[in-house]
A and B are shown apart, each in its own frame.
Chain A
């Protein structure tokens, strides 16, 4: 087990309220696997990533409970200095908008080389060679010229490739990718997804792939966790998840995507209502107010994640019936 997260709870504080962004989540990432994390805005998928890397703003956010075991060490107990060593070296992260991770006033080559120098104590020239090699690895044409480019001289797709090159430069064991293709055009998205899958196979890096797009999950991930309102509501391997979703939210999400097999110009099945506020404590299942399956127990007791098949778990009192529906 590479990463083992247990009962993780993160809260955000403002003057008048507390937002329970993560309400106690547990999951694992195995060596070399791609784990998809799906859910809609505000479900806590990005907060999960930032909590693991301890990148949340110290003043307004606090991890109030749980453990994050990486190589047997609890990341939450490390000093800031030890954490800095892990970030970029053993766990790297890429974001939706590549410009958030690129410095506009340095060349791309120098930025990749800097990451290499910090973590390997390589000399400047060796690091620059490594930068060029990394750009070649992410299939940027003419890497020997591109190392001297500034970020603004590159297209959006190329910048995202450069960021991936930087993230992989120190051969991390875990890559956290937070919506890495959401800002890109579909043809470029297809290229970047293919690249991430290929590199994962070649380097053996495990990937935690955060996305809102079920199509992207289906094409890149082996295992998936579905999040809703700060909790994991379902966890399964990708084939089972799409074949027999066991949580009404997963099912609703899949059905609300337009699909030619169900006919054009038809009304799409909607998930009624809106996501609950995480500022108020939630009694019972957080999806119950929007759920077509909800019965009394759903509104009274919060369902825990439980097995509904081999390596398939759902947090729903009526999961078996949902799977049959």
Chain B
């Protein structure tokens, strides 16, 4: 098959705040703004960012749990927005989701076996034997004993519940799993078990992951490529090793500097980045990071920086660190006049 497994083009989602037929100019939350990326088969693309950056909204858009305001999501070249009933159902088999909270994403009244075989039973009728065999197989894949199929979620530990969530996602043999903060609620020792499980599954079954997380350590460990989001936009997208070796966007840099390092001998030199993430209802003009950015120049307040490709296969949206050559050539007078409007 040619082309990427998943291709996202200019994806945008605005949530109107309140509604009204007669009201004009209803304020909107710009949750996701012009996001594009692709995921190859068997690859892990990580999306990192702080709360409100739009990473979870991207996950929901990919699953078509919410409808986009603009842009397209293509699976093997097919736009999922156009899919109706049967085609949509068939497509859903290919993409599954694992959620953050293993406590609220499992039905407390179903047994483990029922929970993980339910996705398959949406598509085909299973005999009791088939169902038990499937449940046993899935449980073994996620490192649990088949006897666990008769347990209720309340009788399982947090780690076991998250394994169950993964087993349920595997039931339909998807080519892509979207994991939204799938290890964030777990203790570190359990987190290590689940990360190992995800790595094993990818190796054995060639599953691609969109792995959404706020934890840079985890992202660096399992990602092939990483997209950094800030206030609804991707500000940097790079191969994992390149990104962690040398962050280019000042926000990526700030994020990495802020992450606590388990090494007491390290002396922290940098002062933490100032300020807080602004509201997505009324985001700052130009580059959304400019009010907190130590490098910000006039232009950052005016123009939204485009994603500019750099030599090492990354794209960066920053006027200072990655100036777009064709835009730089334009006369600066235009920029000055729009500055006077903004200020």
A residues contacting B by CB (< 8 A) are 40-41, 155, 157-158, 185-191, 193-194, 212-219, 238-239, 241-242, 252-254, 256-260, 264-265, 267-271, 274
Contacts and interface: CB of A to CB of B under 8 A. Distances in A.
B221 interface: yes
Contact of A256 (B188, B240, B272): B188
Contacts of B268: 219
Contact of B272 (A191, A218, A264): A191
B264 A256 contact: no
Interface of B: 50-51, 157-159, 187-193, 195-196, 199-200, 214, 216-218, 220-223, 240-241, 244, 254-255, 257-266, 268, 271-274, 276-277
Contacts of A212: 187-188
Contacts of B221: 258, 264-265, 268
B196 A267 contact: yes
Given A187-B50, A194-B272, A264-B241, A213 B260 contact: yes
Contacts of B271: 194
23 contacts: A155-B276, A158-B276, A186-B258, A188-B276, A190-B259, A213-B260, A214-B188, A214-B262, A215-B259, A218-B262, A218-B266, A219-B268, A252-B189, A257-B188, A257-B192, A258-B192, A258-B218, A264-B222, A265-B199, A265-B222, A269-B192, A270-B192, A270-B196
B193 A40 contact: no
A68 to B, nearest CB: 27
Nearest to B263: A218
Contacts of A189: 258, 260
Nearest to A214: B262
B255 A187 contact: yes
B220 A187 contact: no
Nearest to B219: A258
Closest 6 CB pairs of A and B: A215-B260, A258-B221, A256-B192, A190-B272, A190-B258, A185-B50
B264 A239 contact: yes
Given A187-B255, A253-B188, A264-B222, 5 more contacts: A187-B277, A216-B260, A219-B268, A258-B217, A274-B159
Contacts of A253: 188-189
A276 to B, nearest CB: 11
Nearest to A188: B276
Nearest to B274: A191
A149 to B, nearest CB: 15
B219 to A, nearest CB: 9
A219 B260 contact: yes
Nearest to A242: B264
B262 A217 contact: yes
Nearest to B196: A267
A111 B218 CA distance: 39
Contact of A260 (B158, B220, B254): B220
A278 B291 CA distance: 50
A47 B190 CA distance: 22
B177 to A, nearest CB: 17
